[in-house]
Structure 1
Amino acid sequence: MTRHRSVPELLTLQSLRLAGTADAERILLPTDLIEDLVRTAQASGQVETVEFGSSRSLVLTAAGHARLRELLADDLEAADAQETLRTVLEDFEQGINDEMVRVVSDWQRAAPSTAPPQELLDTLERLGSALQEVIAPLAARLPRFGRFPAQYGLALRRARDGDLRWIAGIGILSCHTVWAELHQDLLSTLGRERLPESRPEER
């Protein structure tokens, strides 16, 4: 059986929705192709540039959100992954998400500029292993989800090497950023939204 592959347009629009940027690190496609897709989306009125002070971000317009919903629904149906996604999302939310949110929140409220305790790193390691196990059935049907456990593991290794930004830093694929983007990706692929109060990590 041929392995399912999500179309580049979906990967690009979803990256813009999740992070306000589209890059090879998230999409795992050639940079030239990503840039062409972004330009096409801008020309068709699906993406616009928004300025926040001195920074700029690409965001989806109403047309962009509508197109992304269509692509996500088609992708899910083509991979026959609806039931797998529901099960994985339930396991994620009921099994490991609350602990991750609590652990990172406690770390942020404590002293994030100091060396993290070994207990925190060990907990993040355990959660990373659990994440890989939870996501595996979905990644087998929708391979685009396979990047999240891998990027979480890379961020944790960097944190263990002493760069504390990789625990919960903003603007990089830190453990917390990867986790938050995964949660939103799971929900939006299923056609659901996160409640505002449950997403303090997002801008």
Structure 2
Amino acid sequence: MDAHRTSDPVLLTLHAVRVLGFASSGAVAARSGLATADVEERLEDLRARGWTTRSEFAGTGGWSLTDAGRAEDERLLADELHERGARDVVADVNERFGPLNARFLAAVTKWQLRPVGGNAFAPNDHTDFRWDDRVTASLQSAGRQLGTLEGELAAVLPRFAGYAGRYDAAMGRVLAGQHRWVDGVGIDSCHIVWIQVHEDLLATLGLERGTIG
């Protein structure tokens, strides 16, 4: 996405690793909107500075941030937020995201569990189509609201663009009967995208998870 290029490439690279948590060079490139070859070279440079580290896990190689890299990401984010005068917009979106986040998580819980008899924690076997239809309607509504919030964010910080499209793509798979795209791990599921949006908002504002305001 060319819009992402309005942010500093070092910030985009570091922040992509931050949001993804542990990711391949290709995933970092896709998240940052930068060319894979450039990202691979930059990640190595950042490793030389002590900001990133590469490791193998379960046969898969990936990048993550060191404590120093996380601190540098936070510094660059704070500088960007100040330079663009974007704090008020991001803070307002984050405040509205809170209730939306609660509704989204409630919908995911209902997707995973469907009380049966006296068992409030019975796994949802997805045989009650009306139950699932109500949940997917809630998830779709959350996606539409996410799109609205993303538009406001991207207007001041273009690097926020893309989350809603990825969420919608996952939702399309859910509606096609691929249930794991609601909350699956290792794929770009609705839940994974949502977690990344939340982390991006908190990191941009310099907040820790669970912080109010």
TM-score, normalization by structure 1: 0.85
1:104 to 108, 118, 122: 108
**In 1, distance between residues paired with 2:178 and 2:35?**
28
| Gap runs ≥5 in structure 2 | 115-122
**Aligned-partner residue type, residue 109 of structure 1:** L
Which shifted more, 114-123 or 6-15? 114-123
Deviation at 1:108, TM superposition (A): 2.3
What do the CA deviations read for 1:63-115 (whole angstroms, capped 9, x no partner)? 10121111101211222101001100001113x11010111122223446647
Equivalent-residue separation in structure 2 for 1:181 and 1:113 (angstroms): 27
One-letter identity of the residue aligned with 1:98: A
- Match of 1:189, SS state, is helix
Structure 2 CA distance, aligned partners of 1:93 and 1:5? 27
How far, CA to CA, are the matches of 2:139 and 2:175 in structure 1? 10
Matched residues in 1 for 2:97 and 2:86: separation? 16
Return the offset for 1:57: 4.0
What's the secondary structure of 1:168's corresponding residue?
Answer: coil
Q: Could you tell me the percent identity over the aligned residues?
A: 35
Q: Distance in 1 between matches of 2:134 and 2:113?
A: 16
User: Does the alignment pair 1:73 with 2:78?
Assistant: yes
The residue identity in structure 1 corresponding to 2:142 is L
Matched, 1:49 2:54: yes
Which amino acid in 1 is paired with 2:89? T
Aligned partners of 2:52 and 2:64 also within 8 Å: yes
Other-structure match for 1:32: 37
Taking structure 2 as the reference length, the TM-score comes to: 0.82
Matched, 1:146 2:146: no
1:88 aligns with 2:93: yes
Compare CA radii of gyration and give the structure with the larger one.
2
Amino acid paired to 1:87: D
Contact 2:143 2:167 in 1 (8 A): yes
- In structure 2, C-alpha distance between the alignment counterparts of 1:113 and 1:50, rounded to whole Å: 37
**Shift of residue 195 of structure 1?**
3.6
Cα 1:13–1:104 shift into 2, 3 Å: same
Q: Deviations over 1:2-24 (max 9, x none)?
A: x8811121121112112211523
Residue 152 of structure 2 aligns with which residue? 137
Equivalent residue pairs, number: 193
Cα pair 2:110 2:135 within 8 Å, conserved: no
RMSD: 2.2
Alpha-carbon distance in structure 2 between the residues aligned to 1:14 and 1:28: 12
Q: Match of 2:6, SS?
A: coil
Aligned partner of 2:112: which letter? Q
Give the aligned residue type for 1:108: Q
Query: Is 1:15 the equivalent of 2:16?
Result: yes
Q: Return the letter of the residue paired with 2:110.
A: D
Is 1:151–1:178's contact at 8 Å kept on the other side of the alignment? yes
Q: Distance in 2 between matches of 1:105 and 1:156?
A: 16
Shift in Å, 1:52: 4.5
